Amino acid sequence: MKIALFAASSSKTGKVYLDAARETGSVLVRGSHHIIYGGGDTGLMGAMADTVIEMNGNITGVIPGFMISSGWNHKGVKNMIITTGMSSRKEKIFEIAEAVIALPGGIGTLEELTEAITLKQLGLFRGPVVILNTSGFYDHLLTFLDHLSGNGFMGEDHCRLWSVASSPDEAIDIIEKYGGWDDKWVHLARI
């Protein structure tokens, strides 16, 4: 399965997050999954990519040309798709991916995760969306999403558009057991 990983590019993250990124890459390779990611060489993205490459896994980077010009691309990733910008990067990732896992990350990762949820709500992405909540990283976001639902900005059913995992193994288990798309989500998008 082609699984998109969204993750931090920051090199200042804690070891627990880097270890989880490496373990996610390892679990995906052991499961013979194809990883699609943002093409970077630092932070959680770089740690995950390094692990996948070391294990001879299947990985594709998708990165805007300006990031390559800045030297942000992972030199070890042989299959690198170059896009014109950030929006086309996400569009390409969603075009290829069959599932999404959001590892801890900054505002870029948050944007990618919320776009995945939005696209799924509208029926434009139909695969599983998993939030890897390493060491409770996403607890505040999950509380905020409940707050949105509780105040009528999202339907209660929309909170089932994503799943939450506490470990890479649990994330893959959720993806592999995914029951498929339900057309009711599109009808529920308008609340």
Q: Is the dihedral of CA 28, 79, 9, 139 positive or negative?
A: negative
CATH number of the domain at 63, please: 3.40.50.450
Tokens of 74: 């992972």
Measure the CA angle with vertex 183, ends 190 and 186; round to 5°.
20
Helix (H) or strand (E) segment spanning residue 35: strand 34-37
What single-letter DSSP state applies at residue 134?
Answer: G
Tokens of 23: 């373990």
In this predicted structure, what is the pLDDT of residue 154? 84
In this predicted structure, what is the pLDDT of residue 23? 98
Q: Which single residue is written with the structure tokens 């030199």? A: 75
For the full predicted model, state whether its pTM sits above 0.85: yes
Q: With H, G, I as helix, E, B as strand and everything else as coil, classify residue 159.
A: helix
Distance CA 177, CA 127 (A): 11
In this predicted structure, what is the pLDDT of residue 185? 63
Residues 106-152 pLDDT 10s:
999 999 999 999 999 888 999 999 999 999 999 999 999 999 989 98
Residues 78-110 pLDDT 10s:
999 999 999 999 999 999 999 999 999 999 999
Q: For the chain, how many structural domains are there in total?
A: 1
80 DSSP β-pair partners: 61
152 compared with 61, residue with greater pLDDT: 61
Other Cβ atoms closer than 10 A to 96? 15
Structural contact between residues 75 and 100, judged by C-beta atoms closer than 8 angstroms? no
What single-letter DSSP state applies at residue 34?
Answer: E
Distance CA 157, CA 189 (A): 10
Distance CA 24, CA 4 (A): 12
Is the pLDDT confidence value at 2 over 90?
yes
Structural contact between residues 9 and 108, judged by C-beta atoms closer than 8 angstroms? yes
The domain of 99 spans 2-188
